[in-house]
Amino acid sequence: MSPCPNESATLSLLALGYTNQEIGKKLFISVRTVDTHRAHIMRKLQLDTRAELVMFALPNGIIGP
């Protein structure tokens, strides 16, 4: 199952260090929806922290060095 477009965008922006509020504004979604997307992403990837998310994003081409 592939992630929804907003989950993919949320993942990229989280890995780049944007806050939930900033992501919500950029994607025109609520902060609560950002929180939900983040929780789904973290569960799917079996990650616990944003730092782990960045460590996942770099080698997988989600964000560049």
Residue 65 has pLDDT above 90, yes or no: no
pTM of the model: 0.85
CATH code, 27: 1.10.10.10
Q: How far apart are CA 28 and CA 46, in angstroms?
A: 27
Domain that holds residue 28: 5-57
Residue with tokens 């997988």: 60
Residue 35 has pLDDT above 90, yes or no: yes
Q: Each residue of 43-62: pLDDT tens digit?
A: 999 999 989 998 999 999 88
Task: Tell me whether residue 65 is in a domain.
Answer: no
The total of structural domains in the chain comes to 1
